[in-house]
Each structure stands twice: as structure tokens, then as C-alpha cells.
Amino acid sequence: MKEINVMTANRVGALADVCEALGGVGVNIRAISAYGMGETGIIRLITEDETSARNVLEKAGFRISVGDIVTVRLRDRPGELAKIARKLATSGVDVEAVYIIGRVNSDVEIAIKPASVRDAMQALKK
């Protein structure tokens, strides 16, 4: 699975511009995280159509980067994410981002953007 990072000016309407560009070509956003850091806005997206999302955002003039993520499904209860985070930390895996993709019954699916997908996958198998 891929994560698309959109770097934009931290301004009113930037998020709306990105979402309208995606919605205008029928791309559904599966997960999103957005925040401002000084004058820069960073929008992390997981979509159901990464290729179309990438194309429309680039054509609209947004600076984007695309990276691999790891998804993990775990029980939706206290301490479960801590177990995953500890496995990654113990193996020296740097986590750039983590966020919820969705919930199914009593489980939650999370996205993890590690510095190294290979190292993260190995750590999570332990």
C-alpha cells in the first residue's frame, strides 16, 4: 500500500484544494492526516486509487512524494498499539507516521510509515 504526501503552503483552503482535486476525478480518500508546520502544510493520504490521485495532484501543481506503508490490524483495546510500537523500537525501526485507516468490528487497522518497510516487516514478525 502507498501513502501520498502533499506538501503545500499552510494556508486557509489548502486542504479543500487537495480534496476537491481528488473528488473531482472520483478518487476516494481512505485515510488522511493533515497538519501545519510553520508556513508548510503536510497532508498524508491513503486513497483507493494511488495512480489517479498522484496524477491529478501533480497536474494541479502540488508537490507530492509517494512511499510504502505497512498496515497492521490489531484488537481495538488499550495497549495493542504499544506492543507494535515496542517491537519496532526494539528493532531500531524509525516510524515517520502512524494513523488509523479504519475499524472492523473489534479490530482497528493502522498505517505505519517506517523509514524501512523491510525492517518494519521483519520486526513485526517477531
Q: pLDDT tens for residues 82-104?
A: 999 999 999 999 999 999 999 98
DSSP run (H or E) holding 15: helix 14-24
Confirm whether pTM is higher than 0.75. yes
pLDDT band at 34 (very low <50, low <70, confident <90, very high): very high
Q: What is the pLDDT of residue 126?
A: 83
Q: Round the average pLDDT of the chain to a whole number and report it.
A: 95
pLDDT tops 90 at residue 1:
no
Q: What is the pLDDT of residue 110?
A: 95
Q: Which domains does the chain have, with CATH numbers?
A: 2-68 (3.30.2130.10), 70-125 (3.30.70.260)
> Is 102 within 8 Å of 48 (Cβ atoms)?
no
Where would I find the beta strands (DSSP E) of 38-115?
A: 40-47, 63-68, 70-75, 95-104, 107-114
